[in-house]
Amino acid sequence: MFRPFLGGWLRSPIYGKRATFLCLAFLPLLLFADVAFGHAVAEGDKGYIQEITGINLLPFIYLGAKHMVTGYDHILFLLGVIFFLYRMKHIGLYVSLFAVGHSTTMLLGVYFNVGINSYIIDTIIGLSVVYKALDNMGAYQRWLGFQPNTKVATLIFGFFHGFGLSTKIIEYNISPDGLVPNLLAFNVGVEIGQLLALGAILIAMSYWRRTESFWRHAYTANVVMMSAGFILMGYQITGYIVS
């Protein structure tokens, strides 16, 4: 299907003022971001979730879509997943695997009240970003001599992303009255948000791939992505230690 960065690309130097600017502009954004923002729900939404009872489909669809669109950990992982995918059938397959994993653990986690320490699960989610960036850089072929199954990895990390959200929802004590319909509505919203985010990523990537700078700066983009994943992990590990 695709083989990212064959040959000696891992040894290639990083060039370009625009790539350097991207690193400098993006990393401070994460440095000053809220520690748990990737999976947290805004305070106003948190209060709303805690107060309402009964079936509220449209509000939960909105909350799910908002979560996905503003969840930069999801977006970073999706960017890594589709970075070297060109055919829509391949994009659809990988995004579907991520959606199945994400939806399964989010719904079952909340319904059966199975939560994981938020710092631990968000550290794993940060690791998913690092993993995918290294995958795009061809690191595993170089280090291990083989390519791990990218489909299985996408599904497994999708499970962890879903647990990240279910853990937060459990912490907010959502009412059991109308729980199942509301959770399904929330999940529909998450998928809508995912499609919106994916559409924006594909438009940007499609434009970038038509320029000469794509292959020049693709390595840099994945280094930035990997660095962002490490920063997310560092935040969560620090939070776990001091909490």
What pLDDT was estimated at residue 11? 43
Structure confidence at residue 169 (pLDDT): 84
Q: How far apart are CA 230 and CA 76, in angstroms?
A: 12
Contacts of 78 (CB under 8 A, 6+ apart): 95, 98, 194, 197, 198, 201
Is 90 among the domain residues?
Answer: yes
Query: What length does the chain have?
Result: 243
Segment 173-195 shows an average pLDDT of 92
Range from 9-23, 35-49, 162-176, 189-203 that averages highest in pLDDT = 189-203
The residue segments making up the domain with residue 127 are 68-242
Identify whether 20 is part of a domain: no
Alpha-carbon span 172 to 56, nearest angstrom: 16
Report the pLDDT averaged over residues 219-226: 95
**Is 53 domain-assigned?**
no
- The answer to whether position 15 is within a domain reads no
pLDDT at 38 over 90: no
Mean pLDDT of 4-17: 43
**11 occurs within a structural domain:** no
Domain-embedded: residue 134? yes
Q: State how many domains the chain has.
A: 1
DSSP state of 145: S
pTM of the predicted structure, to 2 decimals: 0.83
Is it the case that residue 17 has pLDDT exceeding 50?
no
**Residue 109 to residue 98: CA distance in whole angstroms:** 16
The 10s digit of each residue's pLDDT in 73-96 is: 999 999 999 999 999 999 999 999
Residue 31 lies in a domain: no
In a domain, 116, yes or no: yes
d(CA 57, CA 188): 10
